[in-house]
């Protein structure tokens, strides 16, 4: 069984007696059985301090993590050289649910602590740049909104020979308590000759979720990586806009679960990439 740690190291709305902002390190396993917390003044917040905390922690723990999940870019930058020295792989991912629940609980506790600064604090909010248009050289021939019953997601894709397949257990409909007939919305891209190139690009960007964004024009936006956003396409067709609204409504009924399918054409014979997606 894979043993995963989730880790965050960042500034909190706390200060020491000298009025210096404090940074806090939080480490937990994926199920929350193991937790570790420590703080340091902002001037000491560095890879060196982080290494000094993690080395004895690893020596004391009975199970060494196979990898560490990190959702905050600033934490990732500090942790990368430390993890390399410790010989533990890092995975940059928005999906750190146990850690994020702990951060939200800690945020409620900060406000009643004596060293609380009173500053507005959103523990999970990350700075994001405006979405970037996808290169025309990657986009396929056609695309459309689609819907599949939850059971068809498993039967139709899990055991197929698909070059790029992302269906983590945590996002399977059964794990989310969804009935087999629940309609799962998605987006299908017929990529033509570009299908495999587009699928490989998507794999590298680590898709998280898709959203229909109404505007002038309307757009389809991909959330990816830790803070990346991409405009996959824009459109002004009213029928497509209506389909986009239905897509968003069905996401609410499916607990946010949706899919992205890239294929060379609509023959149903071959697929290039399939991803189960859900907002973090």
Instruction: Report helix, strand or coil for 142.
Output: strand
Q: For position 62, what pLDDT does the model report?
A: 79
**Dihedral Cα 47, 48, 53, 57, nearest 10 deg:** 80
Q: Which pLDDT band, with edges at 50, 70 and 90, does 66 fall under?
A: very high
Q: How far apart are CA 171 and CA 71, in angstroms?
A: 18
- Contact between 80 and 53 (Cβ < 8 Å): no
- Contact between 202 and 262 (Cβ < 8 Å): yes
Q: For position 20, what pLDDT does the model report?
A: 94
Q: Is the dihedral of CA 211, 215, 219, 222 positive or negative?
A: negative
Q: For position 137, what pLDDT does the model report?
A: 84
Between the alpha carbon of residue 149 and those of residues 65, 180, 253, 280, the distances in Å are 37, 7, 12, 22
Question: What does pLDDT average to over the chain?
Answer: 94
pLDDT > 90: what percent of the chain?
81
Q: How far apart are CA 247 and CA 187, in angstroms?
A: 9
Nearest to 196 by CA among 230, 223, 162, 232: 162
Q: Is the dihedral of CA 8, 206, 186, 149 positive or negative?
A: negative
- 4-110 is classed in which CATH architecture? 2-Layer Sandwich (3.30)
Q: For position 200, what pLDDT does the model report?
A: 96
pLDDT at residue 268 is higher than 80: no
Q: How far apart are CA 78 and CA 135, in angstroms?
A: 31
Q: Is the dihedral of CA 113, 118, 120, 126 positive or negative?
A: negative
Q: For position 48, what pLDDT does the model report?
A: 97
- Token pair 């757009």 is at which residue? 219
Q: How far apart are CA 143 and CA 161, in angstroms?
A: 22
Q: Which pLDDT band, with edges at 50, 70 and 90, does 45 fall under?
A: very high
What are the backbone angles phi and psi of residue 61, rounded to the nearest 5°? Answer: -80, 150
Domain boundaries, the chain: 4-110, 132-277
Q: For position 146, what pLDDT does the model report?
A: 96
Q: How far apart are CA 195 and CA 179, in angstroms?
A: 31
Q: For position 93, what pLDDT does the model report?
A: 96
Instruction: Report helix, strand or coil for 220.
Output: strand
- Judge if pTM exceeds 0.85: yes
């Amino acid at each position: 069984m894979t043993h995963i740690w989730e880790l965050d190291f960042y500034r909190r709305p706390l200060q020491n007696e000298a009025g210096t902002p404090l940074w806090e390190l939080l480490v937990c396993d994926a199920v929350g059985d193991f937790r570790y917390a420590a703080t340091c003044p902002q001037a000491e917040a560095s890879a060196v301090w982080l290494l000094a905390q993690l080395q004895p922690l690893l020596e004391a723990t009975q199970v060494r993590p196979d990898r560490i999940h990190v959702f905050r870019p600033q934490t990732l930058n500090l942790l990368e050289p430390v993890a390399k020295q410790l010989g533990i792989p890092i995975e940059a991912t928005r999906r750190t649910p146990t850690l994020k629940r702990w951060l939200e609980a800690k945020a409620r506790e900060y406000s009643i602590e004596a060293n609380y600064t009173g500053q507005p604090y959103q523990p999970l909010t990350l700075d994001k740049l405006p979405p970037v248009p996808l290169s025309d050289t990657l986009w396929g021939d056609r695309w459309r909104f689609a819907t599949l019953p939850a059971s068809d997601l498993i039967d139709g894709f899990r055991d197929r020979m698909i070059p790029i397949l992302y269906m983590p257990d945590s996002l399977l409909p059964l794990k989310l308590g969804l009935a087999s007939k629940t309609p799962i919305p998605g987006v299908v891209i017929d990529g033509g000759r570009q299908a495999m190139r587009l699928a490989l690009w998507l794999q590298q960007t680590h898709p998280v979720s898709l959203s229909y964004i109404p505007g002038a024009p309307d757009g389809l936006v991909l959330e990816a990586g830790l803070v990346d956003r991409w405009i996959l396409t824009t459109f002004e067709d009213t029928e497509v806009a209506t389909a986009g609204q239905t897509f968003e409504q069905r996401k609410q009924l499916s607990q946010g679960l949706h899919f992205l399918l890239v294929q060379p054409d609509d023959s149903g014979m071959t697929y290039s990439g399939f991803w189960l997606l859900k907002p973090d």
